[in-house]
Amino acid sequence: MLSVDVGGLVAHQVKATVLPNMAGEQVLLGMAYLKHIEVWLAGGQMRLRPYVGP
């Protein structure tokens, strides 16, 4: 398990696989990370912030 930090949004104890030989400059984030983050679209941009449960 790893801690994943994307622009200061840190999720701890995330199951992750690092693929250093992927083509291009894009990053793939899976649900193991995204379930810790709230994601929405605004003005054509994807926005992220920490998820605060109910």
State mean pLDDT over 5-13: 90
Is the pLDDT at 51 greater than 80, yes or no? yes
Is the pLDDT at 40 greater than 90, yes or no? yes
Tokens of 34: 């995204």
pTM for this predicted structure = 0.67
Percent of the chain predicted with pLDDT > 90: 28
Number of H helices, E strands in the chain: 1, 4
- Residue pair 11/3 in contact by the 8 Å Cβ criterion: yes
